[in-house]
Structure 1
Amino acid sequence: MSYEPPTPPTNLPTEIVNTLNESNPEQLRGVATYAEALAEHKERKTRLKESADQEEVEERPDDLPDDVPSKATITVKEINDNRYYYWQWREGDKIRSAYKGPVKSSD
């Protein structure tokens, strides 16, 4: 083992390096354990999100346009006594819509 202190990763913020350099060995081992567990947690969360996104893509209705998310639902709007289908979904605080087509009398 070298007598020289280790070189921190270049992508680590200076304030974290300084805090670690001021920590005692027991605190550093705790940080190492926590950092490893946190990294595993975040990687798992990312894998689950990617898995959910994959399932979402597979469940897209055939007639859903590319610019409409799969979470969209169909709603009917009446304009001048005519009824139309619209895809509708939420983006943050806003409700978005995309035209689907007229409601046929048999629908």
Structure 2
Amino acid sequence: MTNDRDRPTPPSDLDRDAGEALARLEDRDADDLRAIAAYLEDLAAWTESATDESDERAATGSTPSNPDGDVGEDIDDGHEYPEGVPDRATVTVKEIADTTYYYYQWRDGDRIESKTVQRKNGSW
């Protein structure tokens, strides 16, 4: 059996909620704690990535509906979404070589779904 004085202590700079969450985890078995630690590492990496993307969008002037910051056609409120695309989807419109592309993206649970529709020379 290990000595209790060798037991790790939580970081002192955590807020109250985080400290309480750690206290609830102290009696978990080693496998649970390792699984939780792996999840928290993944969550930290994802949070950093999301923060980096947000900072990049702010610097480049892009928005979630126009992630590349490209100037494209505005989608008016009467825009009809293709079948299978929810109204909450973000839309990016780009014109490349006389072809207009509509890029739709939306979240479905933990997955990001997308659909691309193209219109050549004003026709679908």
> TM-score under structure 1 normalisation?
0.47
> TM-score under structure 2 normalisation?
0.41
Q: Which has the larger radius of gyration?
A: 1
